[in-house]
Amino acid sequence: MTEEDGKKQLLHLVFGGELKSLGSTEFRDLDALDIVGIFPDYKSAEAAWKAKAQASVDNAHMRYFVVHLHRLLNPETNKASGQN
């Protein structure tokens, strides 16, 4: 899958929420998860993640994550090529 500018599309999901404890990745309330969006590359996903993480810096239990959807969609191809 290639975008109009010729770059390969590598989908990334950015989401976050409040954790039950600082040492885990278990969320306090799944219904309250913040689904920031799906992005066409790691660079744009990272920018969205950074903005959300900085905006929630006052809440130590709030965490945002970047999920490499392209790796889930096609694990063999990305494993061999080592792409982000």
Can you give the length of the chain in residues? 84
Q: Distance of CA 25 to CAs 4, 14, 61, 71, 82, Å?
A: 36, 15, 10, 20, 25
Eight-state DSSP code of residue 26: -
C-beta neighbour count of 49 within 10 angstroms? 20
Hey, what are 4's tokens? Answer: 């109009």
- The answer to whether residue 3 is domain-embedded is no
- The answer to whether residue 7 is domain-embedded is no
Q: How far apart are CA 81 and CA 65, in angstroms?
A: 23
pLDDT tens digits, 6-42: 678 899 999 999 999 999 999 999 999 999 999 999 9
State the CATH number of the domain containing residue 74: 3.30.70.2400
What predicted TM-score, i.e. pTM, was given to this entire model?
0.80
Domain of 63? 12-81
- The answer to whether residue 53 is domain-embedded is yes
